[in-house]
Structure 1
Amino acid sequence: MKDFFTIIGGMGTEATESYIHQLNKKTDAHQDQDYLNYILVNHATVPDRTDYIIDPKNHPDPLKPLAEDIKQQSKLGPEFFALPCNTAHYFYNQLQSLTSIPILHMPNLAVAAISKKFPSAKRVGLIATKGTLKDKVYETPIKKAGYDLVMPTSEIADETMQLIYDDVKEQNWVDADLYHHILDQMTNDLNCDVVILGCTEISVAEERAGSDGYHVIDAQSELVDESIRLAEKMQKSK
């Protein structure tokens, strides 16, 4: 296959399925041949990223299997990589150093979208895994862009982990009331102008439950849009 990109997924599988669904849904296709060429690596057995980031001494390193995926897939010659797992971007620089093929940076894409979609925003909230909250993959670009970063309270962070792990990962179920409650607290209690959905399981919640008018930036949706833009540009140039 020529003119394709590779998706390093499976973290988790339902979140990757959401990325694929949005990718195909947003592609302007009217026949089989109009869809995009891509390889999906659904590496479901990659160790939990948050566990490792929070307690690396007692949990296996996700970098090793991810590095193997990048090396293997690079031999096939994709035009770019998509990594639909926010927390895995903790390893972004190490993974990119293994290949000359560009890896799209989902957190950077999400932050860049703020000025386009919410130009008056100043206070940017973040909901994500505790691993992402700790590893600063969002904190650094948000502050560099000149925004005030609003981190969730410990209560909101716990509720977000419940949504991500207990609901979506464990049961493939979205508690819409919990999701909206989290957004309400971030928006009205913490006075966020916009909230970044910094976990692809939260993107699953957004896809299934919607955000009821709250100002959100869905990082996975931004990754989908950039994947389509680059893939269509690639196809037109051939």
Structure 2
Amino acid sequence: MRSFFSILGGMGTIATESYVRLINHRVKISRDQDYLNYILVNHATVPDRTSYILNPSEHESFLPYLIEDIEQQNKLGPDFIVMVCNTAHYFYEELQKNSQAPILHMPRIAIKQMVSQYPTEEKIGLIATRGTIADGIYKNEIEKVGKEVVLGGPEIQELVDELIYQNIKEKGIVDVALYHQILQKMHDDYGVNVIVLGCTELSLAQEKGSNHQYQVIDAQSIIADVTIDLATRIRKGQDKQSLINHYQKA
């Protein structure tokens, strides 16, 4: 297969399914051959990212598992790689060093889109896993563009954990009412007009529960659109690296 990209998924599987559904349904097609060429690596047994980041001495690192995936993809030669897990970007630099293909940086691309879409907003809400909050993946990207990060109080994280883990990861369901409650509390109690969804399970919640009035930056939705644009233009012969730089450079 020529002109294809690879997806590092399975972290978790239901969120990866959401991403694949987005790219399949958003690409413009009039025949089977118009769909995108891709390889999906649904590596469901990658150790929990948040557990390791919060307590590395007691939990197995997920880095060796992802490096193994990268090395397998090096043999296949994709044009680029999409990693469908925000928290896994904790090891982005190490993974990119081992990859012969460019790895799209989902948080960086999402925040670049945020600046373009909401240039005057100074306070940005962030909801994510405890691992993503702790490692500063999104905080650093948001502060780089001169914005203030608002996380909310501990009750917000407890609700987010319930939505991500007890609902989506453990039961495979989305509690849309709970998702809307989180957005409402971030807006009403903490005064943010734009909320970054820093977890692909939250992106799944947005897909299932988009009928609300709040402004969100959905990283998985954004990376899906970028994936389609890149894959389509690379297939037409446009320069891969310049296209990727367009999305990832400040």
TM-score by length of 1: 0.98
Q: 1:135 maps to what in 2? A: 135
Deviation readout 1:139-179 (Å, 9 max, x if unpaired): 11100101111113111011101100000111111111110
In the alignment, structure 1 residue 75 sits paired with structure 2 residue 75: yes
- CA–CA distance in structure 1, aligned partners of residues 181 and 72 of structure 2: 42
- CA–CA distance in structure 2, aligned partners of residues 213 and 193 of structure 1: 10
- CA–CA distance in structure 2, aligned partners of residues 192 and 130 of structure 1: 20
Q: 1:192 maps to what in 2? A: 192
- CA–CA distance in structure 2, aligned partners of residues 151 and 76 of structure 1: 40
Q: 1:15 maps to what in 2? A: 15
**Unpaired segments of 5 or more residues in structure 2?**
239-250
- CA–CA distance in structure 2, aligned partners of residues 205 and 38 of structure 1: 24
- CA–CA distance in structure 1, aligned partners of residues 142 and 83 of structure 2: 20
Q: 1:53 maps to what in 2? A: 53
CA-CA distance at 1:211 after TM superposition: 5.0
Corresponding pairs, count: 238
Q: 1:201 maps to what in 2? A: 201
In the alignment, structure 1 residue 176 sits paired with structure 2 residue 184: no
Q: 2:157 maps to what in 1? A: 157
Q: Cα RMSD between the aligned structures? A: 1.0
Q: 2:36 maps to what in 1? A: 36
Counting aligned pairs with the same residue, the percent is: 50
**Unpaired segments of 5 or more residues in structure 1?**
none
TM-score by length of 2: 0.93
Q: 1:123 maps to what in 2? A: 123
- CA–CA distance in structure 1, aligned partners of residues 162 and 12 of structure 2: 15
Deviation readout 1:39-68 (Å, 9 max, x if unpaired): 000000000000000011111110010000
Deviation readout 1:120-154 (Å, 9 max, x if unpaired): 21111110000000011111110010111111311
- CA–CA distance in structure 2, aligned partners of residues 101 and 64 of structure 1: 18
Aligned residues of 2:193 and 2:214 also touching (Cα < 8 A): no
Q: 1:108 maps to what in 2? A: 108
Aligned residues of 1:126 and 1:195 also touching (Cα < 8 A): yes
Deviation readout 1:48-106 (Å, 9 max, x if unpaired): 00000001111111001000000110111000000010000001001001023110000
- CA–CA distance in structure 2, aligned partners of residues 214 and 173 of structure 1: 22
